[in-house]
């Protein structure tokens, strides 16, 4: 714990003064343009990976970067999605999975989760991804986990579309969805190309999007 306290003292002494004007602006308002939904894994830091400053990202982090389908039971993820889209008016949503994800590994390898019932129940929101991944052939356990990670991103993109605020924003073409998979070892990101349904290198395809812009047809 002491290293965390030392880090704060360093922030207060060195980093904060360098951004004093930024924090002064952020003291009374925020205008993030992107909702970033990622895993809680300590190895994935959204602001570091995207090189964003405070105030740039509205972040949700949980085990498995999961977005439950919209339902009558209020939840923290549901409320945060709604506030980001309907309240803050974000223009982009990124759902970001990552390599060696513990949650997806547990699902892909059928690891017993009886000793963690809350985690076990939470991961049921990835059941549709599990069904798709399980019917495919995998050369190794790593390939099986990688497949689960990608299918889970696709599944959570489908889930978030059930949220009324997201559905309305998509209908108005005021929101774009992005599905990313971050590789911890290489620092690379693959992004879901909604046109082809395949993941491609974000560096090589920076304009790829999970929800391509609709054509505005005139009757």
pLDDT exceeds 60 at position 218 = no
pLDDT value of residue 217: 40
For 91, residues 6+ apart whose C-beta sits below 8 A from its C-beta are 33, 34, 174, 175, 176
Q: What are the tens digits of pLDDT across the range 11-67?
A: 999 999 999 999 999 999 999 999 999 999 999 999 999 999 999 999 999 999 999
Q: What are the tens digits of pLDDT across the range 67-97?
A: 999 987 778 999 999 999 999 999 999 999 9
Query: Cα-Cα-Cα-Cα dihedral of 26, 28, 30, 31, to 10°?
Result: -100
| Full-model pTM | 0.92
The number of CA neighbours under 13 Å toward the Cβ of 36 is 23
What angle, rounded to 10 degrees, do the helices at 127-134 and 141-160 form?
140
Identify the architecture of domain 31-201 in CATH. 3-Layer(aba) Sandwich (3.40)
pLDDT value of residue 213: 61
Q: What are phi and psi of 22, to 5 degrees?
A: -65, -45
Of 6, 60, 4, nearest to 32 by C-alpha is 60
The domains of the chain are located at: 31-201
Q: Could you tell me which residues are beta bridge partners of residue 95?
A: 37, 179
């Amino acid at each position: 714990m002491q290293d965390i306290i030392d880090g704060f003292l360093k922030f207060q002494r060195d980093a904060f003064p360098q951004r004093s004007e930024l924090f002064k602006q952020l003291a009374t308002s925020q205008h993030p343009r992107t909702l970033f939904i990622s895993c809680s894994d300590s190895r994935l830091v959204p602001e570091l990976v995207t090189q964003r400053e405070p105030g740039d990202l509205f972040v949700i982090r949980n085990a498995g970067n999961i977005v439950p389908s919209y339902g009558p039971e209020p939840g923290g993820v549901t409320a945060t999605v709604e506030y980001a889209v309907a309240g803050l008016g974000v223009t982009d949503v990124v759902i970001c999975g990552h390599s060696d994800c513990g949650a997806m590994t547990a699902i892909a390898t059928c690891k017993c989760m009886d000793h963690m019932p809350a985690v076990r129940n939470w991961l049921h929101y990835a059941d549709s991804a599990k069904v798709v991944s399980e019917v495919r052939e995998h050369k190794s356990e790593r390939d099986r986990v990688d497949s689960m990670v990608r299918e889970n991103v696709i599944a959570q993109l489908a889930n978030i579309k059930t949220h009324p605020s997201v559905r309305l924003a998509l209908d108005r073409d005021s929101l774009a969805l992005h599905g990313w998979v971050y590789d911890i070892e290489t620092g690379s990101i693959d992004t879901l190309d909604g046109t082809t349904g395949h993941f491609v290198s974000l560096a090589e395809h920076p304009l790829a999007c999970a929800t391509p812009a609709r054509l505005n047809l005139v009757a």
